[in-house]
Amino acid sequence: MRASKKSRAHSAKRKRYNQQHSASGLTPYEIHVSGAEGLYKEPDISRMINEYIARAINHPRGKPDTIAITLEKLRQKPLKIQSLPVKTIKSRSRLTSERYIRKILLSTGISEHAIEKAFSIVQSAQTLRGAALVTALSGSRIDPDKERGVRVSRLGITEKADRILSRNLAGQKINITAVKEAIILASKVASRHHIMAELCISDDPDYTTGYVSSRKYGYVRIPHIKRKKSKKGGRVFFVAENTDVEALTEFLETSVVMINKIADCSGVVSLHEILDSNNK
């Protein structure tokens, strides 16, 4: 599902974009409202479509004027993977949370320069529909479409794994769609060896918990990562310097991946416990 609305063209950049594109008959500047994807069995499809539509219409980023639903029959056997272990870091303020993110990313081998680049992307007013690919050492953005990023798709979870994940998350009082979908996405992303880590901040104005994930430390939830009411947010995948962008994009956008095994879900932990854990 993809929901968007037309811009009111208040910024100079959007005004320019609208002028150029309306002359050529293309659509005016679109603001991304919400998106979601999943893998479902045929009997569940109509229920899921209704859920996606309800979600798009009632989205806290605003009322969309276009909702696009795409259904595709799978032609590939899913690759089955285990989910990342889930932890929540103890933090009471945005500054502390930012400091923790830097420390975790530095110890997964991401350079300070790349971390700065990632913050500039996720804190920009210009939100993307997908994720930015940033090289882990030189900090260069290498995804070709800078207005869109790379959209991870064709990902899901088996019914049995879903029940276990729901139960584990309910034990921590975090069994909500945003968390579950993010764990599935982060697990697909981390399964690719060229990706060293991911930083995610929701673009929903009322959702202020983000995460940093990696094979090394798992899925680490970071509370208070942004101000309430802010519509900024985004995702950055930190990739090895020699990454083949085309092959990686192909994997993220089109390879079918399903979670069939669930790792631990711990409660609130300190930064030291995370850095000592090394995904154990």
Q: One symbol per residue from 27 to 56: x for binding ligand WAQ (CB under 6 A), - otherwise; what is it?
A: --------x---------------------
Q: One symbol per residue from 212 to 251: x for binding ligand WAQ (CB under 6 A), - otherwise; what is it?
A: ---------x-----------xxx----------------
Give the DSSP letter of residue 93.
Answer: S
Is residue 204 near ligand WAQ by the rule CB under 6 A?
Answer: yes
| Cα 247 from Cα 221, distance rounded (Å) | 29
Total interface residues for Mg ion by CB under 5 A: 2
Candidate ranges 17-25, 65-73, 197-205, 268-276; the one touching ligand WAQ (CB under 6 A): 197-205
| Smaller CB separation from ligand WAQ, 156 or 234 | 234
Candidate ranges 101-109, 200-208, 257-265, 266-274; the one touching ligand WAQ (CB under 6 A): 200-208
Residues in 187-246 that interact with Mg ion by CB under 5 A: 203-204
User: Would you tell me how many other CB atoms lie within 10 Å of the CB of residue 125?
Assistant: 9
| Cα 111 from Cα 254, distance rounded (Å) | 29
| Smaller CB separation from ligand WAQ, 30 or 204 | 204
Give the DSSP letter of residue 126.
Answer: S
**CA angle (105 as vertex; 103, 110 as ends), nearest 5:** 125
Total interface residues for ligand WAQ by CB under 6 A: 25
| Smaller CB separation from ligand WAQ, 23 or 185 | 185
Q: Which residues of 187-216 are buried (b: 16+ CB within 10 A; e: fewer)?
A: bbbbbbebbbbbbbbbbbbebbbbbbbbbb
| Cα 165 from Cα 263, distance rounded (Å) | 9
| Cα 177 from Cα 183, distance rounded (Å) | 10
Nearest distance, CB of residue 184 and ligand WAQ, angstroms: 10
| Cα 209 from Cα 222, distance rounded (Å) | 5
Binds 143: which of Mg ion, ligand WAQ, none (CB < 5-8 Å by kind): none
Q: Provide the binding-site residues for ligand WAQ, judged by CB under 6 A.
A: 35, 127-131, 149, 151-152, 178-179, 182, 185, 200, 202-204, 207, 209-211, 221, 233-235
